[in-house]
Each structure stands twice: as C-alpha cells, then as structure tokens.
Structure 1
Amino acid sequence: MYRIVQPLNNNAALVKNERGEQSVVMGIGLAFQKKKGDIVNADKIEKIFSLKSSESKDHFLMLLKDIPLDFISVTYQLIDQLSHQYDYPVQDYIYITLTTHIYCAYKAVLDQTYQENRLADMMQAYPVEYQMAKEALSIFRQKILRDFPEDELGRIALHFINAKGNKPAEEALKAETLQMVLASVEKELAANGILRTKENSKFYDRLMIHLTYFIRYSDKEKDSTSSLEDMGATMQIAYPKAYRLGTRIHDLITTELGMCSNEGEKLYIVLHIQRLL
C-alpha cells in the first residue's frame, strides 16, 4: 500500500509504503485530485521507481523542476533495466547525468544546434557498455525522439563507463572535508570567470552534484585506461579551455584526498565545464 507524500502531476506522485520507503509511482490519473496522505489506487500504478535515499529523492525532484517527467521516467527505467540485464552495477549519479544529457541532446536536435562530438571510438575496449548504449539509444528513439543521432552511442556509453561501481566506500567522507574541497573547487572556478548565476545555476549545480559523488564514492586505487587517455587527448584539442580547467579541478581533488588519477571522471568534469563555458 502506498500513501502520497507529494503529488507530482495528475499521473505521478511521490509516495511511501508501510515501511516508510519512498518511491515515485506513475499511471494515468493516478494522482488526480489526490492530496498528501491519500492512498494510491494500486490498479492504476503502471510504473514504480524506487528512491533508495533522501539524496535520490532530492535529485529526482530537482530534475523534475526543468525536465519533463517522461524523460525522467524513460531514463530511470532503462538504467534499471540495463544494469539488471547486464549485471552492471552503477552509481546513483548516472540517473542525473544521463537524464540531463538526453534532455539537452533532444533540445539540441530540435533546435538544430546538435554538434557531433569528437570523442575517440572505445567500442573494442568497452563492448558491454557499447551494447548497453545501443539498446538505450533504441529505447530513446522509440519513446522520445526517432531522430536521435548515431553519435549518441559513444556519449551514452561514456555515462555507463563513468558510473560503473560496486558499493560506496565503507566510510563516508566527513562533511567538513567534502565542503572544504568543494569550496576549493568553487574558488578555482571563480578564478577562471565561472560564478554561479541565475542563468547557469542548473549546469553549475549539476557539476557540483557530480563532484560530490566523485569525491565521496570514487575508488582511491582506480586508475585510467589507455582508451580513456586517447579520448582525453581528443577532448584536449576539441575543448582546450574546458580541458585545462577540468584537469586542474580533477588534480586538486585527487591530490587533496590522496586518490589516483581517474581519467573518466576528469573527462566528465571537462564536459560539465564546457557546458558552463
């Protein structure tokens, strides 16, 4: 049995069960004229998305502020489906990064501003991730936009490559250490003319969320691979300013926390900064 915590629209609601576990449920008319505390009609539930933590809930609601619910539901569902199908554990932040990416790509295609990326082909090095990306792209084309470019294969694969993980570190990083490192990152951004504004707040906040996950959950012994290094060389040419700043931020974090260099994370930071620029 689910009780409504917050109606999201007529067809979706944030709910909790008898154990207090929160989820988002979807179905036609499921939340119509419903209010907090009302019981959801089980017969109307078509989809359920489990929110494993308060962070998951906050991130879902954050996405909902500026991304249509159908993009969120399709992306969440395919991540769950593919990670289970391929026994491929992912860190939670992929739900944010991939959903945001797909929505931005969708708008770029419609606005005719979509640009081909200049990323190296990693299909041979990452066959599983590319197969997952192939299936994901097929789903996105069926359910969101038929004209998603083939170029999206590499971008989607990179999301899975970067988010692969087992379990979070046994000991969470202390809050004060996390805030200290993020403050250093903000200072570095400001020194390069990037401040949080009303206009860039969405992209700025998502960069900081990504860095929070990187700092808290990255494997300190994880190192880069040759194919990611090849991709880094390509991105260095394509996005020189973002690459320089992204590298400085990556090195700042890894040096401060005693982590090994992580090329995949560095490339993600570069892409976030390129979007801000």
Structure 2
Amino acid sequence: MIITKVLNNNAFVALDDNSKEIIVMGRGVGFKKKAGQKVELMPGAQVFSNQDQSLNSKMKEVIANIPGEYLDITEKVVSILSKEYNKKVHDIIYVSLTEHIQSAVERYTKGFEIENPLLNEIKRIYREEYEVAVRALELIKDKFGVEFTKDEAGYIAYHIVNAELDGGMNNVAEMTHIVENILNIVKKYMNIEYNEESLHYDRFITHLKFFAQRILCNTVYNDDEEELFSFLKTKYPQCYDCMTEIKKFIEEEYMYKLTESEQMYLIIHIQRIVSAC
C-alpha cells in the first residue's frame, strides 16, 4: 500500500493494492512515515475501509485532531465488546464515542456533569452495554484521573448501542422508548414485578429490542403460525389481552401493524415472564 497522508504517529491514510482508500491505525504505524511511501501492514494494525466517504472524512478529522489517549479508550471498549461479549459495532463508534469521551472529560475539568434521565432504562434494557460502559469509566479514570458518576456510563452505553444498530442516536432513543413502554404495559396489565435476574426476563428484553428495531425500520416479520396463534389466544386470554394493549400502543404511535406471528411471540414471552415473577 502507498501512504497518501500521515495523520499522526499512530495513523495514516493509504491506497491499498486495489487503489482503494483505507485508514490504518496502530501504535507507531505513522512514525517517520511520509506521503508517497510504500509500506507493508504492521502486525496488530487496524485497517478501516468504509464506503461511506463522509464517515471516512470524519474519522480522519477525529484521528488527526483528538489526542490519541481518547481513541485508545474507544479501541479498548471495542475490544472488550468483541472478545468478551461477541458484539460487533460499526466503525462510527471511533468517531462518536471518541468525541463524546473528549467532551465529557473537558466538561468534567470545568466542573460540569450532565444527569442522565434515562439511566435506569439504559441499565435495564442494555445491560451488557452498560456493563462495558462502567468498565470504560475505569479506563477513563486510570488515564485522565477523572471519576465520573454512573450517569456518564449511561451515555457511553448509548453510544455503544448506536454503533451496534448502525443508526442515529434518535433510533436508540426511540427503541428505548418502545421497549420501556412495552415493559410498563406488561407490568401494569399483568400486575407483576419483574425478576430482572431471570432468563425469561433477559430473553424478553432481547425480543423487544429486535421487535423495536423492526418497527423503526418498518420491517415486517411473518410466519404461517395461524393455528398456534389461535391456540395461544385461547389458552392465555389475559396474556392475549395484554398483547392487544401493546398492539394498540404500537399502531397508534408508529402506525405499524403487528402480524399474527409478532402477536403470537409477544403472548409467549408475556406468559413466560409472568411465570418467572
């Protein structure tokens, strides 16, 4: 590959063997390098090759202008997500989370911290992402001597979810709104308190997150399950009635019509979650 621009000691822009622009990052990869130089990929270096030119431009800007210590935090977060949670995230996290961490640290040094009004919802709905975010706070503390409250972990978790969804932060907010409202409908209608340590609760949350994504993307899920749906409707009438309240909420707020398959799986999960309480 041929270097076209050195961003700093730890990153450069290059053209690969197919003349495609790539961004290469890694400890010392840009040290004493210059444009026009032909180089081999160093072991451990990361290569970013995005079709989205606006994202490429933003990544180059962030890498060139933000101190590498902030990017190091993001890289460690991505590594934890991949190795320990088997989660893949979009490259946008290298822009959004890095910029966020820098801004948060700068605010903290000026005596400003922002309360997170959705912290409880984030902890409940995005449990694994929140766990990683709490670990990110420790990384930030070790690097910068800054000790954030758990509100900041909520914001970091938000950026992680955003990168998982490959969407805008508005989608994360809407998805959280959908899941939280459904949880409240079930809790109130079935008169239960959730056992948040149960496997059925975890599975219900996972189902609701995918369900919310389909709603926001207007992607219809349908199987030929008419016979089973009729059976469940009769066997679990209260769960069916609860599901109709959810159906009403979704149709009124998002103009999304639930298929019989979607209704059926909601009934199944409601019944399981009730049995676990």
TM range (shorter): 0.5 to 0.7
Contact kept, 8 Å, 1:71 with 1:103, in 2: the verdict is yes
Cα deviation, residue 17, structure 1: 3.5
1:161-204 deviation line (CA, Å, top 9, x unaligned): 333338x9xxxxxxxxxxxxxxxxxxxxxxxxxxxxxxxxxxxx
Tell me the equivalent position of 1:48: 46
TM-score, normalisation: structure 1: 0.53
Q: Which moved more, 1:122-131 or 1:50-59?
A: 50-59
Tell me the residue number matched to 1:17.
Answer: 16
CA contact (8 A) 2:114 2:151 kept: no
Structure 1 partner of 2:180: 226
Superposition TM-score, scaled by structure 2 size:
0.53
Q: How many residues align?
A: 186
C-alpha contact (below 8 Å) 1:22/1:51 kept by paired residues: yes
Residue 52 of structure 1 aligns with an amino acid whose one-letter code is N
Query: Quick one: structure 1 residues 82 and 49, their matched pair in 2 at CA, closer, same or farther if it must change by over 3 Å?
Result: farther
Residue 32 of structure 1, CA deviation: 4.2
CA shift digits 1:28-86 (9 cap, x unpaired): 3x43443212134766x664242333344212123246422331243144225414531
**RMSD of the alignment, in Å?**
3.9
Closer/same/farther in 2, CA of residues 17 and 81 from structure 1, 3 Å limit: farther
Runs of 5+ in structure 2 lacking a partner? 185-216, 220-249, 255-277
* Preserved contact between residue 3 and residue 15 of structure 2 (Cα < 8 Å): yes
Secondary structure (helix, strand or coil) at the match of 1:112 reads coil
Residues 139/16 of structure 1: CA separation in 2 closer, same or farther (3 Å cut): farther
Q: Which residue is equivalent to 1:140?
A: 140
- 1 or 2, which has the higher helix percentage? 2
Is 149-158 or 13-22 further displaced after alignment?
13-22
Cα distance in 1 for partners of 2:119, 2:60 equals 34
Q: Match of 2:160?
A: 160
Matches within 5 A, 1:1-277: 2-19=1-18, 20=20, 22-28=22-28, 30-40=29-39, 47-53=45-51, 54-64=53-63, 66-122=65-121, 123-165=123-165, 210=168, 224-226=178-180
Q: Sequence identity of aligned pairs in percent?
A: 25
Task: Specify the SS of the correspondent of 2:23.
Answer: strand
Paired residue secondary structure (1:134): helix
Sort the Cα spacing of 1:17 and 1:49 in 2 relative to 1 into closer, same or farther, 3 A: same
Partner residue in 2 for 1:235: none
CA contact 2:74–2:98 (8 Å) conserved in 1: yes
